[in-house]
């Protein structure tokens, strides 16, 4: 319950005024004090102040918006003192207090109709002038303090990093009823007021690190305020500092294995003690780092990358009661050790590599080497009957040689390859590319004779071009030989070329049978009989005499025929001559070009034979210089004939 007071000033245009009986005095609507009131009004009085009667007693009737609301007490005449006349208001209501338009006093005397005068004071004399004062008893209660107090949105106490902006907000305040509405709020810190606001939030101070502030809120009412709300406390802290040293018990481990990470130098924050630590990892020293584990102490087990050569970088974060530190500047590196396969031997050989069946030979190898962080611990020996596939494990050894058996069947070969075994599991070599072999040969094939049987030689010490025949097993070494003939080289592999030349000259023309043989390293041989046809050159006009013998078609055709015979002898393809030479028809003007063509074919035969075995030049054809010419002469024909006999 409380009292509402309204003061309404009288209307008067001068410093004094006289009113007679029955006159009405109107008052301004303006309210000089108080607030609007609504709700239940229990009682009210109207007091008329600062009036002076003149010669008779009387009273006032009170009208509100034309409605009678009561009358004042009677006053005495000729009273010069300021007087107050009070009247209870009938049926008090809201209209009386808040919503009236006019209020008036009607002057009444004590029953006489004669004039009665009243003096109306101005606003300045006496103080406040003539007034009507309305006093109403209305119902209200104290406002209620906010029921919910939030700090940064949290309905409760909070812990924040020192320097954090703090917003205090609230809700749940209540008014004291219609007649005591909320006008605002007053905020207190640690019991002392820090300001008011009409809103429901306020930015407030964050305490220093390690300190706290408790905030409460009072609801301000138009009549009566609340008490302070329940308090909410802000505790301020600082972050812990991360470790300044991070290390590992080893910097390199096998891929996917563990190491111990440890750290030191972390410190508590103010009001924020370290509770544990987080371990972060990255593949780059500059990050980004990813959380991989936590520990309550100052050490943790970490796992290296499963990728060889990969380095992991570790940093540590201190975890406090309320916040964590940043990642440590210090870091540790853990690298997964790199391993590579050991390398197989680069050279593998059987000694001897051609032998009779079922004999032991020595298989040895060299050139094996370790890989990265690996060493050769032993070797495995693999064998196959095919050089390029089908190898199967035969035996193992820590040495670099073993004894192995040759095949039990002639014409067979065993091939051997070696695998180097690493001291680190999983890093063995592949089979060596190099291989050794041991062969048991068959009887060799006959040599291959290039030409000879098709032509004839004009050289009494002819040459024969031959090739070593193919072999049935690898590694068989052979020579092509003939009695009374010298080979350009011996001990050859299959299909290698050789030149053979008769040691002594044939003394007469004829066809001679010569046996050429292929002989292997076991002196097993196979021969072939070749008919060697020798014919001493027979030339027309032999010799050609300068100034006497005319160069003619027969001379040219004989040289051409000799060229054709010798090319056939050496297995060369037949040459196609540029022009047929016919006696009495072919112009001698072209004979110079024919002679040059013959010279070129002689040189072609020479090159073919000399290139047959390029490794030994002892049996090469050597020719005299053939004259340079622009027209056929006797010395040119004789030189060409001489060269034919040397081919």
Report the Cα–Cα distance between both ends of the chain, in Å, rounded. Answer: 152
- 495 near 609, Cβ under 8 Å? no
Handedness of CA 87, 90, 93, 95 (dihedral sign): negative
Chunked into runs of 10 residues, the chain (647 residues) has average pLDDT values of: 54 46 57 43 64 63 71 63 56 49 64 50 54 65 92 93 93 83 94 95 93 95 90 93 96 94 96 95 96 96 95 97 94 95 96 89 96 96 95 97 92 94 95 94 88 82 92 80 93 91 95 91 86 92 89 92 94 92 82 89 95 92 80 84 93
Q: To which H or E segment does residue 563 belong?
A: helix 553-569
Domains in the chain, please, with CATH? 2-138 (2.60.120), 148-237 (2.60.40.10), 245-336 (2.60.40.10), 347-440 (2.60.40.10), 448-533 (2.60.40), 553-646 (no CATH)
**Phi then psi dihedrals of residue 410, to 5 deg:** -60, 145
- d(CA 581, CA 558) in angstroms, rounded, equals 11
254 vs 28, 293, 301, 449, CA distance in Å?
Answer: 101, 21, 15, 65
The Cα 258–Cα 304 span in angstroms is 6
**368: closest CA among 415, 438, 431, 437?**
431
DSSP single-letter state for residue 629:
-
Cα 479 from Cα 490, distance rounded (Å): 5
User: Cis peptide leading into 288, omega within 30 of 0?
Assistant: yes
DSSP assignment string, 564-577: HHHHHHTTPPPP--
Greatest alpha-carbon pair distance for the chain in Å reads 203
pLDDT of residue 451: 80
How far is Cα 379 from Cα 396, in angstroms, rounded to an integer? 6
pLDDT at res. 113: 44
pLDDT, position 601: 96
Q: Phi and psi at residue 610, in whole multiples of 5°?
A: -65, -25
In the chain, DSSP finds a helix count (H) and a strand count (E) of 4, 40
Spatial separation of the C-alpha atoms in residues 243 and 325, rounded to whole Å: 9
Angle at 63 between CA 60 and CA 66, to 5 degrees: 145
Angle at 546 between CA 545 and CA 552, to 5 degrees: 75
> Strand pairing partners for 119?
18, 52
Q: What tokens does 214 get?
A: 């408790």
* Cα 499 to Cα 480: distance, rounded to the nearest angstrom: 9
Distances (CA, A) of 637 to 214, 244, 606, 628: 134, 104, 18, 11
* H-run or E-run covering 592: helix 591-610
| Bridge partners, 329 (sequence order) | none
What's the confidence (pLDDT) of residue 67?
72
Q: Among all chains, which residue has been given the structure tokens 């940093």?
A: 315
- Of 611, 612, 462, 616, nearest to 530 by C-alpha is 462
Treating both helix axes as pointing N-terminal to C-terminal, what angle do 591-610 and 553-569 enclose, rounded to 10 degrees?
20
Lookup: tokens for 506? 């044939």
Beta strand 401-405 with 392-397 is: unpaired
Q: Peptide bond preceding 525: is omega within 30 degrees of 0, i.e. cis? A: no
Q: Residue 151: is it exposed, middle or buried by C-beta count within 10 angstroms (0-12/13-18/19+)?
A: buried
Are the beta carbons of 220 and 187 closer than 8 angstroms? no
296-312 b/e (C-beta count within 10 Å ≥ 16 → b): eebebebbbbeebeebb
Give the global pTM: 0.51
């Amino acid at each position: 319950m409380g009292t509402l007071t309204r003061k309404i000033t009288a209307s008067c245009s001068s410093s004094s005024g006289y009113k007679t009986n029955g006159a009405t005095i109107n008052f301004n609507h303006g309210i000089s004090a108080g607030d609007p009131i609504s709700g239940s009004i229990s009682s009210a009085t109207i007091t008329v102040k600062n009036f002076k009667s003149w010669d008779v007693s009387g009273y006032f009737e009170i009208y509100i918006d034309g409605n009678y609301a009561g009358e004042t007490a009677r006053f005495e005449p000729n009273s010069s003192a300021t007087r107050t006349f009070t009247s209870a208001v009938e049926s008090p209501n809201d209209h009386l207090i808040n919503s009236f338009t006019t209020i008036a006093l009607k002057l009444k005397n004590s029953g006489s109709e004669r004039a009665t005068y009243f003096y109306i004071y101005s606003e300045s004399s006496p103080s406040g002038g003539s007034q009507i004062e309305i006093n109403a008893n209305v119902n209200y209660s104290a406002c209620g303090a906010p029921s919910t107090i939030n700090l940064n949105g949290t309905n409760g106490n909070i812990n924040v990093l020192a320097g954090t902006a703090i917003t205090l907000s609230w809700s749940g305040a209540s008014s004291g009823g219609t007649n005591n509405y909320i006008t605002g709020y007053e905020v207190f810190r640690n019991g002392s007021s820090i300001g008011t606001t009409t809103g429901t939030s306020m930015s407030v101070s964050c305490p220093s690190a390690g300190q706290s502030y408790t905030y409460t809120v009072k609801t301000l009412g138009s009549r009566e305020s609340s008490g302070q709300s329940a308090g909410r406390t802000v505790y301020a802290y600082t972050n812990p500092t991360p470790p300044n040293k991070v290390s590992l018990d080893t910097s390199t481990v096998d891929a996917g294995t563990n190491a111990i990470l440890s750290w030191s130098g972390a410190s508590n924050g103010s009001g924020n003690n370290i509770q544990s630590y987080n371990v972060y990892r990255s593949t780059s020293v500059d990050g980004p780092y990813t959380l991989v584990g936590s520990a309550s102490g100052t050490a943790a087990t970490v796992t290296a990358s499963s990728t060889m050569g990969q380095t992991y970088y570790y940093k540590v974060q201190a975890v406090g009661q309320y916040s964590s530190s940043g990642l440590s500047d210090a870091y540790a590196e853990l690298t997964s050790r790199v391993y590579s396969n050991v390398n197989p031997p680069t050279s593998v050989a059987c000694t001897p590599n051609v032998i009779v069946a079922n004999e032991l030979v020595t298989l040895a190898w060299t050139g094996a080497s370790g890989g990265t962080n690996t060493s050769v611990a032993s070797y495995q020996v693999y064998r196959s009957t095919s050089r390029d596939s089908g190898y199967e494990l035969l035996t193992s050894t820590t040495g670099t040689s073993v004894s192995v058996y040759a095949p039990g069947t002639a014409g067979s070969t065993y091939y051997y390859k070696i695998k180097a075994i690493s001291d680190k599991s999983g890093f063995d070599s592949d089979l060596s590319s190099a291989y050794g072999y041991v062969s048991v040969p068959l009887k060799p094939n006959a040599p291959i004779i290039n030409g000879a049987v098709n032509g004839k030689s004009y050289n009494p010490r002819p040459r024969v071009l031959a090739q070593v025949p193919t072999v049935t097993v690898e590694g068989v070494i052979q020579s092509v030989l003939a009695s009374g003939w010298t080979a350009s080289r011996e001990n050859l592999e299959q299909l290698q070329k050789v030149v053979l030349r008769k040691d002594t000259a044939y003394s007469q023309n004829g066809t001679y049978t010569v046996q050429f043989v292929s002989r292997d390293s076991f002196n097993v041989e196979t021969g072939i009989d070749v008919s060697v046809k020798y014919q001493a050159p027979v030339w027309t006009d032999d010799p050609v005499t300068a100034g006497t013998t005319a160069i003619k078609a027969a001379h040219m055709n004989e040289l051409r025929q000799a060229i054709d015979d010798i090319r056939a002898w050496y297995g060369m393809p037949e040459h196609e001559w540029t022009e047929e030479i016919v006696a009495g028809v072919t112009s001698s003007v072209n004979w110079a070009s024919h002679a040059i063509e013959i010279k070129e074919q002689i040189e072609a035969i020479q090159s073919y034979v000399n290139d047959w075995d390029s490794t030994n030049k002892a049996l090469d054809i050597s020719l005299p210089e053939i004259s340079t010419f622009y027209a056929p002469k006797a010395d040119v024909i004789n030189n060409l004939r001489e060269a034919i006999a040397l081919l």
